[in-house]
Amino acid sequence: MKRSIWVRTALGMLLFACRAFACLGIVGVLLWCAVRALFDWSGPQPADAAGFDLYVDVALAWAVGMAVAGLVGPTVRPGRGKANSLVWLVWCDLGMLLAFLWPLQALIVAFRFAVTARGRARWQRGGAVLAGSALLATGATWGLACYQAGQRWAPPDPSDQALVGTWSGAGGRVLELLPDGRYRTNFIGEAPYRISETRPPVYLSGHWTRTGTAGHGQEQSIVLNGSETMDVYGASSPSMLCEPEEQDPCYLSMQRR
């Protein structure tokens, strides 16, 4: 009898802890969303990396959904008992904690539905598995591609020609990298950058070089007149130039036109 009381007490405490964790998770996600809406911490991003923010938004929504499912599930099915309710809450809390892997979780949920929903038609269970597989493939590809696009450009065989073109930034900044190793720009490369007050703008010229050796994983940068360094970002091709300053990896940025 005493052992049974201790077991029920322990289960009750674990259930309370799991419910509290789910509630704190919901509050934490809502606070994080509010902070993201008020403050821009992401800084400049390559155009092809913008989708990563949407991937994160889906992960946050998934986290809230898993937390709500953990809280509501035992109430909707009250006959499960404390032990089963605890297992359900633990899995939902784990899903909330690992919400960043929501494509994989979607596949797991689809397989669980196909295995446990024996009263459903075969086509419904098969459709759930196909939908979960599609979400896994699409979501994983989407997240990985957008994440890689926001990293430094590090091709196995870098080429100066890939950087040639016109780049533009905030305040009307323009930087033209020419194929003969020269550049033209309308800003003065001293921190902080000062836009020329002359109208039309006076274009400064100089020479640029690419730094970084060949080989996978070698991050590439460009140097203007041997002094001003700008890091190159992009997955398959360069899409943004960033000048780092102190702790800010992208103090000033320029996008390819």
Amino acid at 69: A
pLDDT the model gives residue 142: 86
State how far the Cα of 20 lies from the Cα of 4, in Å rounded to an integer.
Answer: 24
Least confident of 21-35, 149-163, 204-218, 226-240: 204-218
pLDDT the model gives residue 26: 94
Distance between first and last Cα of the chain: 76
Q: Containing H/E element for 242?
A: strand 240-245
Average pLDDT score over residue span 52-71? 90
Mean pLDDT of the chain: 80
Buried b (16+ CB within 10 A) or exposed e, 95-123: bbeebbbbbebbbebbeebbeeeeeeeee
Question: CB of 118 within 8 A of CB of 128?
Answer: no
Per-residue pLDDT tens for 145-161? 878 777 888 888 888 89
Question: CB of 229 within 8 A of CB of 219?
Answer: no
Per-residue pLDDT tens for 160-171? 898 999 998 877
State which of 43-52, 126-135, 234-243 shows the largest mean pLDDT: 126-135
State how far the Cα of 191 lies from the Cα of 208, in Å rounded to an integer.
Answer: 18
State how far the Cα of 175 lies from the Cα of 204, in Å rounded to an integer.
Answer: 10
Q: Which residue has the tokens 């049974």?
A: 4
State how far the Cα of 7 lies from the Cα of 74, in Å rounded to an integer.
Answer: 19
Q: Is 42 or 256 the better-scoring residue by pLDDT?
A: 256
| Integer CA distances (angstroms), 182 to 190, 203, 225, in order | 18, 12, 9
